[in-house]
């Protein structure tokens, strides 16, 4: 029998711990002791399992005689011990009001909720149970009980299935992918799928999509440095609508077609898979992905994602040189490139930044003194850049030539 007790009453403690004499146990079972209602219920629930049949039968009879009002009060009270709440969950003399209170009481054991979900014929109670996702995740047996109950409503079934899919099937699938990738020596890809959410505005990514994405992950967790991502930027990691994801996808397709001509079906399919991932997973892929993944995500309309690309430890100087010339990347990316000392020492990089109309004007102005004179002259005549940049380029070139 359970030794659970929260009462400081020495009589209750003696009965629960089994040190009370037999006459006192029988009197308690018959409800003859002067006890608080909560103490009485705790003792009766305990004694109904007594090896002494007389005491067990008396306790059961006294429990059956309790009024529904008293049972409802006990079911609602937060200081009612879990053993009593477990009993009330399936008590013969309990009504819907008692069971509803038990379901809503956070102290009720998960196993007791599963018992209600398995036995009740009241579909509305199953719906009430199914709304507590935290319980369902904590104790998956409740999900099984709801789905196995013929009285389940469409709503109860929907909620139970959604929770199973979101917290168990998807997690198990991602874990299986990770295990298989580790077995193949693809540690970086395995790490990605162990932490990826694998959902997006278009719904869950299929396992086929996951396997294709795995081929484009090459950076391990040990290589990552996310100190560049300040906490105040996390508000940008919002949930995107399907329309926003579709617009982002279409913009990247159009940008690549302008630069490279017609795209292959495989390239379009990869861009679609990547761009319909949620923002957090795109950030992870941007930091861990290979050159092909980086070439897609550098154009992402979310600045945190595109900034993650240039913080990928495998990005090359040649890629940075190309990015510096792109007119489809955010000005934030161009500004960060210009601030990087290593990249700013590469003349092709700063030359491309100076000529890129997307580069912020203050950034270009700081770059111009390092631009060769002949290139300054060309820049002063370049109608694609701002008037301010052309005037400053002309001024510097004239100073150098003594004009």
**Do both 201 and 73 map to the same domain?**
no
15-36 residue pLDDT tens: 888 888 998 899 988 989 888 8
**Do both 112 and 226 map to the same domain?**
no
114-153 residue pLDDT tens: 999 999 999 999 999 999 998 998 898 999 999 999 999 9
- Give the span between the Cα atoms of 352 and 369, in whole angstroms: 14
pLDDT, mean of residues 339-349: 95
**Do both 97 and 197 map to the same domain?**
no
Is residue 394 domain-resident? no
Domain count, the chain: 2
- Pair of tokens at residue 177: 């992918």
**Do both 262 and 204 map to the same domain?**
yes
Is residue 386 domain-resident? no
pTM score: 0.58
**Do both 64 and 120 map to the same domain?**
yes
**Do both 115 and 32 map to the same domain?**
yes
Contact at 8 Å (CB) between 352 and 331? no
Is residue 340 domain-resident? no
**Do both 156 and 193 map to the same domain?**
no
Tell me which residue of 333, 397, 328, 403 sits closest to 369, measured CA to CA.
397
For residue 221, what are the domain limits?
A: 187-315
Distance of CA 208 to the CA centre of its chain: 21
pLDDT, mean of residues 293-314: 94
**Do both 146 and 214 map to the same domain?**
no
Domain boundary among 112, 132, 165: 165
Domain boundary among 300, 315, 330: 315
Question: 276 or 320: which carries more pLDDT confidence?
Answer: 320
Is residue 233 domain-resident? yes
Is residue 265 domain-resident? yes
Is residue 176 domain-resident? no
Distance of CA 382 to the CA centre of its chain: 48
The band of 1, judged by pLDDT with boundaries at 50, 70 and 90, is: very low
- Give the span between the Cα atoms of 158 and 367, in whole angstroms: 59
Is residue 341 domain-resident? no
Is residue 245 domain-resident? yes
Domain boundary among 292, 315, 338: 315
How far, CA to CA in Å, does 43 sit from each of 69, 205, 332?
19, 53, 68
207-217 residue pLDDT tens: 677 778 888 99
Q: Which residues contact 340 (CB under 8 A, 6 or more apart)?
A: none
Contact at 8 Å (CB) between 99 and 71? no
**Do both 83 and 30 map to the same domain?**
yes
**Do both 20 and 150 map to the same domain?**
yes
């Amino acid at each position: 029998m359970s030794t659970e007790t929260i009462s400081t009453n020495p009589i209750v403690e003696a009965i629960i711990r089994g040190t009370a004499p037999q006459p006192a146990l029988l009197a308690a079972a018959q409800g003859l002791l002067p006890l608080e209602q909560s103490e009485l219920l705790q003792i009766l629930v305990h004694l109904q399992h007594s090896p002494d049949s007389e005491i067990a039968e008396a306790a059961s009879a006294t429990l059956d005689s309790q009024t529904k009002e008293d049972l409802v009060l006990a079911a609602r009270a937060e200081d009612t011990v879990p053993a009593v709440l477990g009993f009330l969950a399936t008590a013969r003399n309990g009504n819907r009001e008692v069971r509803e209170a038990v379901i809503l009481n956070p102290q009720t054991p998960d196993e007791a909720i599963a018992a209600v979900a398995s036995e009740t014929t009241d579909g509305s109670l199953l719906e009430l149970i199914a709304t507590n996702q935290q319980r369902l995740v904590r104790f998956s047996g409740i999900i099984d009980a709801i789905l196995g109950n013929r009285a389940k409503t469409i709503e109860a079934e929907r909620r139970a299935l959604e929770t199973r899919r979101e917290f168990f099937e998807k997690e198990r699938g991602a874990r299986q992918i990770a295990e298989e990738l580790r077995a193949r020596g693809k540690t970086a890809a395995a790490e990605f799928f162990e932490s990826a959410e694998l959902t997006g505005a278009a719904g869950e990514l299929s396992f086929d999509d996951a396997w294709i994405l795995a081929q484009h992950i090459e950076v391990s967790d040990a290589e990552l440095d996310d100190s560049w991502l300040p906490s105040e930027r996390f508000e940008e990691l919002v949930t995107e609508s399907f329309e926003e994801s579709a617009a982002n996808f279409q913009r990247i397709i159009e940008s690549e077609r302008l630069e490279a001509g017609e795209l292959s079906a495989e390239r379009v399919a990869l861009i679609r898979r990547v761009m319909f991932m949620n923002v957090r997973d795109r950030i992870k892929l941007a930091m861990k992905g290979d050159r092909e993944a980086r070439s897609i995500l550098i154009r992402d309309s979310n600045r945190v994602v595109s900034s993650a690309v240039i913080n990928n430890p495998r990005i090359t100087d040649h890629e940075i040189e190309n990015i510096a010339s792109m007119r489809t990347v955010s000005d934030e990316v161009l500004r960060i490139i210009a601030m990087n000392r290593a990249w700013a020492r590469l003349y092709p990089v700063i030359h491309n930044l100076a000529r890129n109309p997307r580069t912020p004007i203050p950034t270009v102005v700081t770059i111009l003194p390092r631009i060769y004179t002949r290139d300054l002259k060309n820049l002063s005549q370049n109608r694609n850049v701002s008037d301010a940049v052309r005037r400053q380029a002309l001024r510097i070139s004239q100073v150098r030539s003594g004009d």
